[in-house]
């Protein structure tokens, strides 16, 4: 969600691209942050970009975790691939024939604590990867790493991971990238699409005005009190998953601040704060004699998550 120069994900993609180039594999990075599609109301500005995937052999979707979930950018992109796949079935064509996919998740380091207070480094169990692959249509993936391809970056809760400044020196990340490239080369099949690029592009078209996440957020030029009120209502009516709502509230709070629209930022902060309050266990819910400074309900939105405070430059 941050600009490329500040983005861990962009840095990883550039490292992957450089490693591919060293092995004579041509690649291109498409950064969804550059398009602001989710705040658009006009033509599908991302549709032309899908043309670049027509004759691609390897498609890597990289996404940071934000409130336990991949960003709405990545989820909505997966929705495009799923939509195109469903349309292609009516044409009786294999849209992704011989294409190979992979998902890379960016997150902070994971830690846990034992009962005696000893800090334990946790491993990545792959939940965001599994969710992303469920959102995508049935496609062919490279041979998966164990744990799945990911990067645990340095973060405020744990400084053990690499940063975007020194990622190129992180041996685990370099090994994972090289393993992924080798798996791609092993699975690669030389081919030419059996259908035209025009048919490919038609499969990715949609007449739905809210297709692929359009309307999730408001653009800078649409920041008015009335629009914010209507937007909050629409999000609350259309998003059951609270962590998805949280992504939108925090993104829009930041967009309002950047554009000196304090009242709008205050309204989105109100939504964010109320979600956190609902996630707390209240005094009346604690058993007699059970003392807690702070306790959160299972799967609740937690006010302690770093994404509540970390700047994302949306």
Return the DSSP state at 168. Answer: G
Which two tokens mark 241? 């998953």
Q: Is the pTM of this model over 0.85?
A: yes
Query: Could you count the other beta carbons within 10 Å of the beta carbon of residue 84?
Result: 21
CATH 3.40.50.360 applies to domain 4-203: yes
Return the DSSP state at 40. Answer: -
3-state secondary structure of 185: helix
Q: What is the pLDDT of residues 121-138, one digit of tens each?
A: 778 889 999 999 999 999
Every domain of the chain and the residues it spans:
4-203, 219-308
pLDDT of residue 160: 85
Q: What is the pLDDT of residues 198-250, one digit of tens each?
A: 999 999 999 999 999 999 999 999 999 999 999 999 999 999 999 999 999 99
**How far, CA to CA in Å, does 40 sit from each of 30, 191, 222?**
18, 36, 10
What average pLDDT does range 147-153 have in this prediction?
Answer: 95
């Amino acid at each position: 969600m941050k600009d490329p120069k500040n983005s861990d994900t962009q840095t990883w993609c550039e490292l992957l691209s450089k490693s591919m180039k060293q092995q004579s594999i041509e690649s291109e990075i498409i950064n969804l942050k550059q398009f602001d599609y989710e705040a658009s109301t006009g033509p599908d500005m991302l549709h032309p970009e899908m043309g670049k995937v027509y004759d691609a052999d390897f498609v890597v979707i990289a996404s940071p975790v934000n409130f336990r979930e991949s960003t709405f950018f990545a989820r909505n992109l997966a929705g495009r691939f799923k939509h195109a796949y469903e349309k292609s079935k009516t044409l009786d064509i294999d849209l992704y024939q011989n294409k190979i996919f992979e998902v890379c998740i960016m997150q902070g380091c994971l830690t846990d604590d034992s009962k005696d207070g000893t800090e334990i480094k946790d491993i990545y169990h792959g939940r965001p990867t599994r969710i992303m692959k469920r959102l995508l249509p049935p496609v062919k993936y490279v041979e998966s790493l164990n744990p799945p391809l990911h990067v645990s970056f340095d973060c405020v809760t744990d400084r053990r991971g690499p940063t975007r400044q020194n990622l190129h020196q992180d041996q685990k990340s370099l090994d994972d990238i090289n393993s992924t490239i080798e798996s791609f080369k092993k699975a690669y099949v030389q081919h030419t699409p059996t259908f035209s690029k025009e048919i490919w592009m038609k499969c990715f078209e949609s007449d739905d005005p809210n297709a692929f996440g359009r309307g999730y957020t408001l653009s800078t030029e649409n920041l008015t009190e009335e629009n914010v009120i209507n937007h909050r209502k629409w999000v609350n009516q259309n998003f059951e998953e609270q962590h998805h709502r949280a992504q939108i509230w925090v993104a829009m709070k930041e967009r309002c601040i950047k554009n000196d629209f304090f009242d709008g930022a205050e309204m989105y902060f109100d939504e964010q704060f109320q979600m956190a309050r609902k996630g707390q266990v209240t005094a009346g819910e604690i058993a007699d004699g059970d003392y807690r400074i702070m306790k959160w309900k299972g799967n609740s939105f937690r006010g302690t998550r770093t994404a509540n405070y970390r700047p994302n430059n949306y």
